[in-house]
A and B are shown apart, each in its own frame.
Chain A
Amino acid sequence: MGEVKEQKTSTSDETSVEEVPGVITTTASAISDFLKKTKAQDLINWGRKNSMWFMTQPMGCCGVEMIAMGCAHYDTDRFGIIPRNSPRQADVMLISGYVTKKYLPALKRLWEQMPSPKWVIAIGDCSISGGPFYESYSTVQNIDEIFPIDVFVPGCPPRPEAMLQGFVELQEKIKAKKDLGTEY
């Protein structure tokens, strides 16, 4: 079975790069790879960094601070950061608490449902190192090996201002093309 599949993909690859005289064929990923080397990527990143919609997915007590951050008092809207209820509309996932062994498959599924480009911010001591639950039998340790985390915001829980600072740091990373969400 595996061999047959391999053959099929290889033949389709051959047809896609088949040369037609006088016509230059290309693919979407080739265009994207080319754009990454030009100044146009700066413009794209400017748009991306100013519209970072995050997924409302609170997982612990830090989730309450996360919701407070999204509300009117701290007003993330001025940075273009808006809470979204669906992973399909979100750009940023906030891991805002301890990840238990039972919750990890659901979190992975949410992450897979988010369209690329997408980023992760780890919020609070629990998601960074386990927090008070660091030697528990049911929490998953070392989340950064599972998700490409750009920014860690320590605190137990961090203030909403600290979370906003984390978003600003992520914006700086995207502006400098050093984020883990895109391969440059």
Chain B
Amino acid sequence: MDVTEILKSLTGRFPEAISEAIVESEIRARAYVDKDGVKEVCQYLKDSLQFDHLCVVCGVDYIKRNEIEVVYHIASYNHPVVLMLKAILPRENPEIESIVSVYWNSNWYERETYELYGIVFKNHPNLKPLILPEDMLGEWPLRKDYKGFPNKTARNLV
């Protein structure tokens, strides 16, 4: 199964949830996914298209567009295609369905995306900060309007 067939199958199955599906090369493809349909799309990818390896979940803050994107990189052990899925969320109240029930390893990725960007993953089994201390919750350090960076409190810099 090559990359064009994969995208054709995906857009044919989800004509409304998948948009702007683009083939970048023989091994890379990307698509925008609707934020309500991300779990169904991932389930279809895993069950029917052999995308059984979730590489990473991360976030991007587009402050000028007033949007936050969640980016999923999903790959396969059976064919060489890496698919990048993006979901656009509003910046005020970013909420998206968790995909832990599909890909178990997204658990910690989603926790880290939550603590750094404030994206709430609904129905996540244990949505609490992964690395940051609890009292930094709510500061969302990787958002572009974060005030605490750069930190100028170091006194004895050369």
A130 at the interface (CB under 8 A from B): yes
- Contact between B149 and A136, CB atoms less than 8 A apart: yes
Contact of A134 among B132, B133, B141, B157 (CB under 8 A): B157
| Chain A residue contacts of B131, Cβ below 8 A | 102
What is the count of residue pairs linking A and B with beta-carbon distances less than 8 angstroms?
44
A99 at the interface (CB under 8 A from B): no
B12 at the interface (CB under 8 A from A): no
Given contacts A101-B136, A102-B132, contact A135 B156 (CB under 8 A): no
Given contacts A135-B149, A137-B148, contact A102 B133 (CB under 8 A): yes
Select from chain A the residue with minimum beta-carbon distance to B142. Answer: A137
Q: A158-179: contact bitstring with B at CB < 8 Å (1 yes, 0 no)?
A: 0000000000000000000000
Interface residues in A126-167 by Cβ distance below 8 A to B read: 128-130, 134-139, 141-142, 144
Q: A21-48: contact bitstring with B at CB < 8 Å (1 yes, 0 no)?
A: 0000000000000000000000000000
| Chain B residue contacts of A139, Cβ below 8 A | 151
Least Cβ distance of B153 to chain A in Å?
Answer: 5
Interface residues in B40-89 by Cβ distance below 8 A to A read: none
> Complex: how many Å from CA A101 to CA B155?
17
- Contact between B149 and A134, CB atoms less than 8 A apart: no
Least Cβ distance of A137 to chain B in Å?
Answer: 5
- Contact between B136 and A138, CB atoms less than 8 A apart: yes
Select from chain B the residue with minimum beta-carbon distance to A134. Answer: B154
B146 at the interface (CB under 8 A from A): yes
- Contact between A142 and B150, CB atoms less than 8 A apart: no
Q: A98-130: contact bitstring with B at CB < 8 Å (1 yes, 0 no)?
A: 001110000000000000000000000000111
> Complex: how many Å from CA A144 to CA B158?
16
| Chain B residue contacts of A142, Cβ below 8 A | 153-156
Contact of B149 among A128, A129, A137, A141 (CB under 8 A): A137
Contact of B151 among A102, A128, A141 (CB under 8 A): A141
> Complex: how many Å from CA A157 to CA B101?
43
Select from chain B the residue with minimum beta-carbon distance to A130. Answer: B154
Chain A residues in the interface with B (C-beta under 8 A): 100-102, 128-130, 134-139, 141-142, 144
New A-B contacts (16) at CB < 8 Å, excluding given A136-B149, A141-B155: A100-B133, A101-B133, A102-B133, A130-B154, A130-B157, A134-B157, A135-B151, A137-B136, A137-B146, A137-B149, A138-B136, A138-B141, A139-B151, A141-B153, A142-B153, A142-B156
Q: Which 3 A-B pairs have the closest CB atoms?
A: A135-B150, A102-B133, A141-B154
